[in-house]
Amino acid sequence: MSDQKPPSPFAPLRQPLFAVLWAATVLGNIGSFMRDVASAWIATGLSSSPVAVALVQVAGTLPVFLLSLPAGVLADILDRRRFAIGVQVMLAMVSATLMILAHTGMLTITSLIALTFAGGVGAALMGPTWQSIVPELVQKRDLRNAVALGSLGINIARAIGPAAGGLLLAAAGAALTYGADVATYVLVVAALLWWRRPAATDDALSESFFGAFRAGLRYARASRELHVVLLRTAVFFAFGSAIWALLPLVARNLIGGDAGFYGMLLGLVGIGAILGALVMPRLRGRVGPDGLLLGASLIAAAVMGALSLAPPKWLAMLLMLPLGAGWIAALTTLNGTAQAILPGWVRGRALAIYLTVFNGAMAGGSLGWGLLAQEIGVPATLMAGAAGLALVALALFRIALPTGESDLQPSNHWPEPLVADPVENDRGPVLILIEYRIDPANRTAFLKALNRLSTARRRDGAYGWGVTEDAAEPRRIVEWFMVESWGEHMRQHRRALGADADIQREVAQYHEGPDKPAVSHLLTIDARRTA
């Protein structure tokens, strides 16, 4: 038994680089929450239409739905520090424009929605970039704690930002609230400029934008574990978005609060999230991730149902605490599961797909609930959302989330391919053949194992896969798969994981003969050329 103590949850903060960027990110998120609460509240004054108010929420989340995957690709192929600085400058310009329009009285619901959309574009670009940066800032043993601190930072910002934004909005107006957000971006840019990121080394197998984009989509299409996470994510947030789309109208029209009260509601959500984060590890150990997600769904449904009854202000404020705890439990459970099942080479792109589904569900759900509220009213819509969320949570409880316990470290168990002459990386497609000799008594077990291996082939780069048998000699079975280029196949060698090596060993044990299964690499020839 090892006597080494596990690292402290706050160990990453002892590393100055992570501490500075973490603190700057917290301040930046505080500013973003201040901007968002100001925009949401101003929207209720510029228009009484529930659809228009909900469109502000849609405008903030729709860009993440549309751009997360391209942003994930850019985070993988560009200098992340410079890219992050550019995004922060763009966001500062958006808030500065809001500040000027609010100060001059020229802010309209149309310009508010358009600028909120521009801010959403910046958020879409920054999300995968920051998640990709974190592993560069800490030692490997501190990575999980660094990710946890990132979630804690967001909830600290959620606890402070909305309340501060609401109070500042009530006391000094929208222009100063937006100006405070601009100042936080200046601090984030300064912290990123202070970071001296080592220059990236040249890699002959580095991916192009479109190649990396296609590889990310292939992985997502083939990963069954990711499909489960995306399904559970889409359903929860599509129904859960009702509370965020309609909360400004609940605060103003149902409960009769002002901007400061609305900010306090959102601040209490953040406090509830922090409290929930503290008890979540113990609860997860008792009920597991599926039980945690079910509990979070039922809590959120109960809060929505209670708010539909127009409770007094003090009760509405208390309800925000369990709402925050339930929301962070669901968010952390789904995001943590996604992180646990993704290998490093595709983490940014696959997390971008997760963010696409998350924000698409939020955007589509917000618009749908806003349209429904315009027809049947806010209380009835909240009650419908609560009932729907509870029902789908119970129905999907049987679709268990993946455990995330597979070995995701690169195994490097594929031997280098034999070639007569060097092959250019862009040459392709490439057909790979693996020849097995299988005893008919083992054929069924062999094919079952080979089918599991096919998932890994497709995830890591194959766009076609199949199995053939020799008509003259049924013992001779050939597995084949297609890869778009030689360079992509060489990347496939790097992407093979420890979990895949275990399946491949299981497949190989059915092969008869003294030699390993024979592997051939066939390169495409343009038959129209004569030389």
| pLDDT greater than 60 at residue 202 | no
Band (pLDDT 50/70/90 cuts) for residue 442 is: very high
Average pLDDT of span 199-209: 65
Residue 352 near residue 128, CB atoms below 8 Å: yes
| pLDDT greater than 50 at residue 3 | no
- pLDDT number for residue 144: 59
249-263, 427-441, 449-463, range with the lowest pLDDT: 249-263
Surface-to-core class of residue 199, CB atoms within 10 Å of its CB (0-12 exposed, 13-18 middle, 19+ buried): exposed
CA atoms of 42 and 134, how far apart (whole Å)? 35
Residue 160 near residue 267, CB atoms below 8 Å: yes
Average pLDDT of span 440-463: 90
Please give the class, per CATH, of domain 430-523: alpha beta
Nearest partner of 177 among 27, 58, 61, 32, judged by Cα: 32
Domain ranges in the chain are 11-196+208-396, 430-523
- pLDDT number for residue 530: 52
3-class secondary-structure state, position 330 = helix
Give residue-wise pLDDT tens across range 294-331: 999 999 999 999 999 989 999 999 999 999 889 888 88
* Both structure tokens of 381: 């819509």
Q: Which amino acid is at 310?
A: A
Give residue-wise pLDDT tens across range 242-287: 988 888 888 888 888 887 788 788 778 878 877 887 777 677 778 8
Residue 221 near residue 464, CB atoms below 8 Å: no
Give residue-wise pLDDT tens across range 408-433: 676 777 778 878 788 888 887 999 99
The structure tokens 């070995």 sit at 407
Crossing angle between the packed helical segments 109-137 and 347-376, to the nearest 10 degrees:
150
Band (pLDDT 50/70/90 cuts) for residue 2 is: very low
| pLDDT greater than 60 at residue 4 | no
Residue 298 near residue 307, CB atoms below 8 Å: no
Q: How confident is the prediction for the chain on average, in pLDDT?
A: 84
Task: Centre a 10 Å sphere on the Cβ of residue 473 and count the other Cβ atoms it contains.
Answer: 9
Name the helix (H) or strand (E) containing 113. helix 109-137
CA atoms of 445 and 171, how far apart (whole Å)? 72
Residue 101 near residue 111, CB atoms below 8 Å: yes
Surface-to-core class of residue 502, CB atoms within 10 Å of its CB (0-12 exposed, 13-18 middle, 19+ buried): middle
Band (pLDDT 50/70/90 cuts) for residue 143 is: low
- pLDDT number for residue 1: 40
Residue 27 near residue 19, CB atoms below 8 Å: no
36-50, 140-154, 173-187, 327-341, range with the lowest pLDDT: 140-154
CA atoms of 289 and 334, how far apart (whole Å)? 8
DSSP state of 78: S
| pLDDT greater than 60 at residue 378 | yes
- 41-55, 138-152, 339-353, 422-436 — most confident range: 422-436
| pLDDT greater than 80 at residue 456 | yes
Q: Tell me which CATH code domain 11-196+208-396 carries.
A: 1.20.1250.20
